Amino acid sequence: MRIRKAVIPAAGLGVRFLPATKALPKEMIPIVDTPTIQYIIQEAVDSGIEDILIITGRDKKPIEDHFDKSVALEEHLKEKGKTGELEMLHRISDMAQIFYVRQQEPRGLGHAVYCARRFVGDEPFAVLLGDDIVRSEVPCLKQLMDLYDEVQATVIGVQEVPPADVSKYGILDAEPVRENVYRVRDLVEKPAPEEAPSRLAIMGRYIIEPAVFDILARTKPGAGGEIQLTDALRELAGPGEMYGLVFQGRRYDVGDKLGYLKATVEFALARPDLAGQFRSYLETLVRERRGS
């Protein structure tokens, strides 16, 4: 079955990014000049997704406004003859068919995904987490979709992490099938390094079979007292087939301050309008700091 729908959980409180997130949804924090959630939507659209559901919560209205039309701003730009900016606004509001539903309480990622049940119905669907941004030749989600086409079973995007980092992620217990493809035996959410079954860490991209909803409906709170998607996927992996794909591309954890800074620098260096000046600024800065 073709993957047509994507779910983007965006109801988190953004505690790791206070004070910026006190009045601004963390998904709206820009990398260079573009909110992080716009990169995620672009990846879904570039992968061929048609309908997108964003799971929001209280105080997330700026996300809806961002993907909506802004009549007053458009009029202003039209009057001033700023056609480039006007076209940019149109591209944003026309990106995809976006739907919204609210998660009423912060009860965890599993619960957030469960809020998508009616939107998804009875077909396999994609989940993209907003803290993970991937720069790659083939969009990350498209890589997962291509494997799904072949295996017709749940596919989870992973990358290897150093042993010291396994406790930040969901980790796969899996056996290799071929280069970069693993068959999943089990999953564990944020294990202690000595208990981790591998270093294959879940990186915020999933194609999931709809049977997960019946499981999520009865999943009890797990790590951190939250209803974990990883726990529901464990149960789904039990009787059925599930795969891990080591996707190609550079992934940034933009929910982490250092990851965010790295993304900002590298995205700016990849921008033709900024790269030249920004690179020489960085080089001068490094020379100054070294005292030469």
> Which residues form the interface with ligand G1P (CB under 6 A)?
109, 129, 131-132, 169-170, 189, 201-204, 228-230
Q: Is 196 helix (H, G, I), strand (E, B) or coil?
A: coil
CB of 35 or CB of 255, closer to ligand G1P: 255
Shortest Cβ distance from residue 200 to ligand G1P (Å)? 10
Closer CB to ligand G1P, residue 29 or residue 268?
A: 29
DSSP letter at 248 equals: -
Closest to 23 in 3D by CA, of 72, 62, 68, 54: 62
Which are the contacts of 103, defined by CB distance < 8 A and separation ≥ 6?
A: 9, 11, 55, 56, 57, 111, 112, 115
Q: State the nearest-atom distance from the C-beta of 89 to ligand G1P, in Å.
A: 30
Q: Shortest gap between Cβ of 44 and ligand G1P (angstroms)? A: 16
- Closest CB to ligand G1P among 40 and 202? 202
Which residue number places its CB atom closest to ligand G1P? 170
Q: What is the largest CA-CA distance in the chain?
A: 63
Shortest approach of ligand G1P to residue 37 CB, angstroms? 15
Q: In the complex with ligand G1P, which residue's Cβ is closer, 4 or 107?
A: 107
Specify the pairing of strand 34-35 against strand 30-31. Answer: antiparallel
Closer residue to ligand G1P (CB): 10 or 129: 129
Query: Closest distance between ligand G1P and the C-beta of residue 245, in Å?
Result: 14
Q: How far is CA 5 from the centre of its chain?
A: 14
CA distances from 237 to 155, 231, 241 (A): 10, 10, 6
Q: Is 217 helix (H, G, I), strand (E, B) or coil?
A: coil
Radius of gyration of the chain (CA): 20
92 or 141: whose CB is closer to ligand G1P?
141
- Percentages helix, strand, coil for the chain (3-state, rounded to 5) are 40, 25, 35
Residue listed under structure tokens 């964003």: 54
Nearer to ligand G1P, 92 or 182 (CB): 182
Distance between CA atoms of residues 198 and 244, nearest Å: 12
Query: Shortest Cβ distance from residue 117 to ligand G1P (Å)?
Result: 19
Rounded to a whole number of angstroms, the minimum distance from the CB of residue 128 to ligand G1P is 11
Pick the closest to residue 215 from 232, 228, 240 (CA basis).
Answer: 232
